[in-house]
Amino acid sequence: MTKLASSLTHSGWDEMFSKEGVRDSYSQVFKTLQKLSHKNLTNKQKQASDLFMNQGITFTVYSDDANGIERIFPFDIIPRIITQKDWQEVESGIKQRLLALNLFLEDIYSEQNIVKEGIIPAGLIASCPHYIQEVQGIKVPHNIHVHIAGIDLIRGAKGEFMFWKIIFDVQAVLVICWKTEKLPNEFFRICFRPIMSAW
């Protein structure tokens, strides 16, 4: 049996425990964990890590001597659960930000009103390594520039969600979503929702 205890501090947020005990959203996961031995849980974590490595869900870290070291994406076998109420707020915020980013890119590659109105200097755009001058003025289907995005979320000390960063790495986002759905883990069968659409 795996023994779990709160790591709640005055300056942090504990996903599973409140001062009153196990949070309602984690009750089923907590019961499942209680049935697993520490060895069994460790084996599940290793199984997930091996799957990530074998299926290429990795990134390369380059050291000073330019030799790449392949590492798996950080992954915790115990899921972080977002309640439906919290997710509605998060989803709304994600859609708002993606819409704003898409409108920004549409403007940058067309009229550039944001530059003309002096909000962003032209040099800042032109000097950006990700700006592609060759596609300036080209209309994209349905004016959609951001097709797939991954959102990094963090929690504040009171549990409020905040956006850490937005990832436009299509390959990384797709492969993580697809592969984690295939993990042989009973936890995920209770909390997965389809990948959302912002358009």
Task: Say yes or no to pLDDT of 155 above 80.
Answer: yes
Which residue spans within the chain are E strands per DSSP? 17-18, 21-22, 58-62, 68-72, 150-155, 161-167
- Per the prediction, the chain carries an average pLDDT of 79
For 99-113, b/e burial (b = at least 16 CB within 10 A) is eebbeebbbbbeeee
Confidence of residue 192 (pLDDT cuts 50, 70, 90): low
Task: Band the pLDDT of 109: cuts 50, 70, 90.
Answer: very high
Per-residue confidence band for 100, with pLDDT thresholds at 50, 70 and 90:
very high
Give me the pLDDT at residue 187, please. Answer: 53
0.75 surpassed by pTM: no
pLDDT at 123: 94
Domain ranges of the chain: 84-183
Average pLDDT over every residue of 63-91: 78
Buried b / exposed e along 67-76 (16+ C-beta atoms within 10 A): eeeeebeeee
Given a contact cutoff of 8 angstroms between Cβ atoms, the answer to whether 35 and 1 are in contact is yes
Residues 36 and 1: beta-carbon distance below 8 Å: yes
Look at 6 and 46; give whichever has higher pLDDT: 46
Nearest one of 131, 134, 129 to 108, comparing CA atoms? 131
Burial class (CB in 10 A: 0-12, 13-18, 19+), 185: middle
Distance CA 82, CA 89 (A): 11
Q: Is 164 helix (H, G, I), strand (E, B) or coil?
A: strand
The DSSP 8-state label assigned to residue 65 in this structure reads T
Q: Tens digits of per-residue pLDDT, 137-154? A: 999 998 888 887 878 888
Strands 21-22, 161-167: parallel, antiparallel or unpaired by DSSP?
unpaired
- Specify burial of residue 54 (Cβ count, 10 A radius: 0-12, 13-18, 19+): exposed
Give 10's pLDDT tier (boundaries 50, 70, 90).
Answer: low
